[in-house]
Structure 1
């Protein structure tokens, strides 16, 4: 996320917070969304907690961060994998009867070349990528946080580039809404210590908010909820003055429960998690308090942008009260977007691995599309794998593996081997872990071999 917008924040009055901010929610749903936000057990923080049960910070991080729903970021611009990534995550949320939140972050020249630079090489390819997202949204409620910084941060763009970006955002909004009429799409409105409400409303209008459900504020920032709500009301009023009515706000409360200071969350130990995520806001103007920025993920100053850092997570959560209640998690796995193990799959095994040696492995197809599929492999230890594990199989005709997570891939001809990652190799007796991969070619059910040195 851009340091520019946060440096502005550091120059204005600091945030104020009291413990009550975590629970200041109404009893009525208000807004336009009702239900429970989806909490995947397959997040960076959940994987860290699972891998570090004896760490002195683990209980606090587990109870106050890993227990909560946070947005899934779509920030890896990859045309071949985006449909599988989205459909798997959305299908898992639908199976759990919960609402998925996706942050779409792939627009050309994102973050104006800052710490989170990247995205699509050009806007034509960006639209193709968005089309892949749209085709995978299903038909149930899904919340889409569209392109943080894309409207509030325009300093690196000239007038023609701004016009092109606005057109891209309009087209993206219309594409997502057309694919799933129940999708809730929100556009970037910066935060209360950045652009004026009148200026931001004009920018939102130019970017096509008329077709969206509203706007979001405070993404990855630290302004207090009260200031953001007031800012949102001013934007809504300004939009109404331009003939654009019925728009609502969502607020990122992931890091706005603490004091002001250095803009970068990597270096600031005064920040705290804010209000726990909910769509029960009790405010007719606000559709949700969301954790758009997953707490504990770095900004790109001291650590790599987006990487999970337990010291940051603990700093954010250490003085926060536990949430009053939490939805039950989906079954743990180690794929960034895998379905819960209870979700039906045409290739799913009907039982866990049968361990006759040091370890065994079973496969299921988590998602498939024309020309490709996403696989998930569960590794279960017999007597334990203190030296790690390796799962091997033979590819079918025309198959190849293009991406692996929670494991390290090697290939030799048609033989594929995935060995454990650094954090999930030492399995106790009867312990298990999961890795996932993206494959091209026809879906099949491979015969897996698991070995441990």
Structure 2
């Protein structure tokens, strides 16, 4: 679906730069020592996203491996940006249901506000605020009752220059009502409102806008969807916003930060032509910071901003530029449990997924089935497991591997597969790009967990 240009306006942001300079070292220390925010668990990786579909359709492209391993493997937000009241509930239910079935947390970016983007490259949304509320009501009915993260209306509060005072008041009321509607339908929904970014409006002004839009009913605010500022700068900005909210009597609010494109240079707002940027921190709910609930990839890497390509269209050159040269993720998401307090192993766990070469002692199966073998890397309190799936004497077009974990073990992240469950007997199924395996050939997936890893045996069933 078409997404957004996200106007990346820059302003003085009074006081934020000084706060960032004074506390940057403290943020680095806090990430390793503070407790996490209010969300725990793996984030949902959508097997039907634009980047996953591109990788599946272009296996021979020279850019495919980098894009697959560093972007398509990661959980990203699904944007609900096409306005249709009649399908809002079913679309939400389908997406959230798939995430619930995978026992993962979906991230949804709602982008339907009237007069969105002030009529810029991402113009659209509800024709009026009454229809907006109707859409929100239907959408909310599809959210189920499990944890879901809602990024509510990017730029809706930071970008108000095209609205008069009456229109601003009406928008604030609409966002406040939308927040309460979502929370009423699903009390476990986590709703975050727009805080722009650290080089746009000041922390005090941002807090005032959040209060006017009903942040007291929300779980907090999001930042950096509309820019590429460093994570430390956004964290410092968030602390300043939280402090301002506390001064208004609004406490307990937390931040989520978009890290999808903030691993390189900052500068011109449009990412369509900039080759100096890289993906930032991989998505996780294990932030190590009590003020920050998650680092998310809200704006999917590789999707255009609208200045050179159509806003929201997937561009492999952009994706490759963002991912090239960046280390591979060790898991689909960094571990969602705190680091062990026991001494680290003398041999550190690998920073990239273990090699895909199957153990030489495991012969390929005969017939039309598949076999699976597990290579384990155990350390005190945790492990990584590399699983090799090998086809028999005929091609297979899909596979499911079942692995039984020892008592007390729990999966915290997966790459190149989707997991059903996180403890006990766990089933892993292929993703779009690795389901087809040629006769006698192999593919690989892996997972990371806490506790003691599984034994070397696993059962495989071909689709």
Is the TM value for this pair above 0.5?
A: yes
CA distance in 2, matches of 1:288, 1:327: 11
- TM superposition outliers: structure 1 runs of 4+ over 2 Å: 1-10, 24-29, 427-430
Q: In 1, Cα distance between the equivalents of 2:226 and 2:262? A: 9
Name the residue aligned to 2:8. Answer: 5
- CA drift at 1:41: 1.1
Distance (whole Å) between structure 1 residues aligned to residue 70 and residue 33 of structure 2: 21
> In structure 2, what is the Cα distance between the partners aligned to 1:247 and 1:283?
13
1:106 to partner: Cα distance: 0.4
Change (3 A) 1:181 1:310: same
CA–CA separation in structure 2 for the residues paired with 1:322 and 1:26: 21
CA distance in 2, matches of 1:25, 1:307: 34
Q: Which residue of 1 aligns with 2:352?
A: none
What is the match of residue 264 of structure 1? 270
Give 2:90's aligned residue.
84
Q: CA deviation at 1:165?
A: 0.1
Change (3 A) 1:3 1:250: closer
Q: Find out whether 1:311 has 2:314 as its counterpart.
A: no
Is the 1:100–1:143 contact (alpha carbons within 8 Å) kept by the matching residues of 2?
A: yes
How many Å apart are 1:73 and its aligned residue?
0.3
The residue aligned with 2:251 is 245
Check if 1:173 corresponds to 2:179.
yes
Contact 1:75 1:104 in 2 (8 A): yes
Whole-angstrom CA distance in 1 between matches of 2:333 and 2:240: 34
- Give a deviation string over 1:356-404, Cα, whole Å, max 9, x none: xxxxxxxxxxxxxxxxxxxxxxxxxxx9xxxxxxxxxxxxxxxxxxxxx
The within-5 A match list for 1:134-145 is 134-145=140-151
Distance 1:87 1:26 in 2: 36
In 2 relative to 1, CA 319–27 (structure 1 residues): closer, same or farther, beyond 3 Å?
farther
Unaligned runs of 5+ in 2: 22-26, 335-394, 396-435, 440-463
1:148 paired residue among 144, 151, 154: 154
Equivalences for residues 22-101 of structure 1 within 5 A:
26=32, 30-101=36-107
Out of 212, 215, 224, which is 1:218 matched to?
224
Q: CA deviation at 1:262?
A: 2.1
Pairing 1:104–2:110 present: yes
Q: Distance in 1 between matches of 2:117 and 2:313?
A: 17
**Cα contact 1:6–1:264 (8 A) shared by 2:** no
Match 1:130 to one of 122, 127, 136: 136
Offset at residue 7 of structure 1 (A): 4.9
Post-superposition shift, 1:5? Answer: 3.3
* Match for residue 300 of structure 2 among 294, 299, 315: 294
Separation in 2 of the partners of 1:9 and 1:115?
24
Alpha-carbon distance between aligned partners in 2 of 1:268 and 1:429, rounded to the nearest angstrom? 39
Q: Which residue of 2 aligns with 1:197?
A: 203
The CA distance in 1 between the partners of 2:38 and 2:200, in whole Å, is 27
- Residue 421 of structure 1 corresponds to none
Distance in 2 between residues matched to 1:121 and 1:289, nearest whole Å: 32
Given the two structures, how large is their TM-score scaled by the length of structure 2?
A: 0.67
Shift of 1:325: 1.3
The answer to whether the aligner puts 1:164 opposite 2:174 as a matched pair is no
- Per-residue CA deviation, residues 287-345 of structure 1 (Å, 9 max, x unaligned), is 000000000000000000000000000000002110111269xxxxxxxxxxxxxxxxx
Aligned twin of 1:449:
none
Secondary structure in 2 aligned to 1:193?
coil
Q: Show the counterpart of 1:369.
A: none
